[in-house]
Amino acid sequence: MREQAIHWETDGTSRVPFAVYTDEDRHKKELERFFYKNHWSYVGLEAEIPNAGDFKRTVVGERSVIMTRGNDGQIHVVENVCAHRGMQFCRERHGNKKEFVCPYHQWSYSLQGDLQGVPFRRGVRQDGKVNGGMPADFDPKDHGLTPLKVATRGGVVFASFDHAVESLEDYMGPTILQYFDRLFNGRKLVVLGYNRQRIPGNWKLMQENIKDPYHPGLLHTWFVTFGLWRADNKSELRMDAHHRHAAMVSTRGSAGQATGQAAQVTQVSSFKESMQLNDPSFLDIVPEPWWQMGDKMPTAVMMTLFPSVIFQQQVNSVSTRHIQPDGHGAFDFVWTHFGFEDDTPEMTERRLRQSNLFGPAGFVSADDGEVIEFSQQAFETKPEHRMLVELGGRDVGETDHMVTETLIRGMYAYWRKVMEA
């Protein structure tokens, strides 16, 4: 690794060097340390592969993997790299198979990746002699597809190349786990569909976007005008002990103009006092019992699980957002919207209509991709510079408000610990 030198202006992380986003060698080191060792990555939902033989191709970091359901109902994740010549043999994105066969030389594998067949392994008999074949000590057991460690919880599937990784529960930590379990509380999930976008910016910027409660009430007119996410909403910012994961928790306040001291939050240019929807069904919000947490009823919980995924609850719209890096300067962002098995048809309709706010064309998400692109453009032109994340101070800690960038500082405290080790 010969990454460019990096200069942090302070001991803390309130000034993040542009160089953390611009260097290909540093990016490879991140993949190694965050995606391939010691961490869990999101790979999908159990509901995507309900039956034996079902599979879905996806990625962990930049490596292609296949999530399968074996004949025993167990979920397996194997790397999409043939043990023979290394070809990424699985080209379909989903389907159902009895086994995997690499077409190049027809090596075949079971659904859990065990090597089953090698053509001409014992040679080809011709004119009384045996030609070729694999060496006598060739043992198929040593040449399966690379298996990943798998953990499932609440219908969500995670995988890790690192078989020594801590348990998924320890990885999340008790604080984040309670928000995870609130959303994925054991009900069967129903996949509503996908949206895929390619964002020309460093993958960490998407984690930061959902660790930044400062921007939604400013950049996103819909949030501030309709009270969905606003600086005067009752809110909490929570983190795991390592400060790598976070939950931004908010309860919808009043729509429209704020009064008194709170009026500052609606004196921003993105607040549109006169904005009226021609069709209010975009915001036909119906509270659901599972939102309840103790005496609170959060209307939005945005979870960042470092490094690979975001779990979204924004009123009735729930989704997973998978971050799939591709080099230091771009990532693919895959949204899987879902509902629950006990949803009424009206609730499904409502989730689908509210999904207009999110995704690559969403009223409050399309511009997140745009600002990430324009940030990356600037980073590339002057990697020696740095950004400022000092709202709410320079330290890292949980808060009972959202006027702070503490979660971004927390993520970089963890990043420094791992990358500088």
Partner 1 sequence: MVDMNTWFSIQQLYADYASALDSGQWDLWPEFFTEQCVYKLQPRENFERGFPLCTLLLTSKGMLKDRVYGIQETLYHDPYYQRHVVGAPMVRKVEDGRIHSEANYAVFRTKFDKESTVFNVGRYIDTIVQTPDGFKFAERLCVYDSEMIPNSIIYPI
Cβ 91 to partner 1 shortest distance, Å:
13
The residue count for binding partner 1 (CB under 8 A) is 41
Cβ 241 to partner 1 shortest distance, Å:
35
376 binding partner 1? (CB under 8 A): no
Among 82, 183, 219, 387, binds partner 1 (CB under 8 A): 219
Cβ 192 to partner 1 shortest distance, Å:
4
Strand ranges in 106-257 using DSSP code E only, listed in sequence order: 107-109, 115-117, 124-126, 129-131, 147-153, 156-160, 189-199, 234-239, 246-251
Among 106, 281, 292, 344, binds partner 1 (CB under 8 A): 281
Give the residue with the Cβ less far from partner 1, 19 or 219: 219
Instruction: Name the β-bridge partners of 158.
Output: 42, 151
Cβ 328 to partner 1 shortest distance, Å:
17
Measure CA 232 to chain center. 28
Q: Choose one: 57-65, 189-197, 294-302, 410-418; the region binding partner 1 (CB under 8 A).
A: 189-197
Give the residue with the Cβ less far from partner 1, 14 or 313: 313
332 binding partner 1? (CB under 8 A): yes
SS (H, E, C) the chain: CCCCCCCCCCCCCCEEEHHHHCCHHHHHHHHHHHHCCCCCEEEEEHHHCCCCCEEEEEEECCEEEEEEECCCCCEEEEECCCCCCCCCCCCCCEEECCCEEECCCCEEECCCCCEEECCCCCCEEECCEEECCCCCCCCHHHCCCCEEEEEEECCEEEEECCCCCCCHHHHHHHHHHHHHHHHCCCCCEEEEEEEEEEECCCCHHHHHHCCCCCCHHHHCHHHHHCCCCCCCCEEEEEECCCCCCEEEEEECCCCCCCCHHHHHHHCCCCCCCCCCCCCHHHHCCCCCHHHCECCECCCEEEEEECCCEEEEEECCEEEEEEEEECCCCCEEEEEEEEEECCCCHHHHHHHHHHHHHCCCCCCCCHHHHHHHHHHHHHHHHCCCCEEECCCCCCCCCCECCCCCCHHHHHHHHHHHHHHCC
Among 9, 24, 370, 395, binds partner 1 (CB under 8 A): 370
Among 14, 195, 304, 320, binds partner 1 (CB under 8 A): 195
Among 262, 348, 380, 383, binds partner 1 (CB under 8 A): 348
59 binding partner 1? (CB under 8 A): no
One character per residue 61-100, x = contact with partner 1 (rule: CB under 8 A):
--------------------------------x-------
222 binding partner 1? (CB under 8 A): yes
270 binding partner 1? (CB under 8 A): yes
Give the residue with the Cβ less far from partner 1, 34 or 333: 333
391 binding partner 1? (CB under 8 A): no
Dist CA 62 CA 196 (whole Å): 16
Could you tell me if 110 and 116 are in contact, meaning their C-beta atoms sit under 8 angstroms apart?
Answer: yes
Phi, psi of 7, deg, nearest 5: -125, 115
Cβ 252 to partner 1 shortest distance, Å:
18
Cβ 331 to partner 1 shortest distance, Å:
11
Among 29, 37, 234, 353, binds partner 1 (CB under 8 A): 353
366 binding partner 1? (CB under 8 A): yes
314 binding partner 1? (CB under 8 A): no
286 binding partner 1? (CB under 8 A): no
Among 162, 373, 380, 398, binds partner 1 (CB under 8 A): 373
282 binding partner 1? (CB under 8 A): yes
Cβ 68 to partner 1 shortest distance, Å:
18
Chain residues in the site for partner 1 (CB under 8 A): 93, 191-200, 219-222, 270, 272, 275, 277-279, 281-282, 332, 337, 348, 352-353, 355-356, 359-361, 363, 366-367, 369-371, 373-374
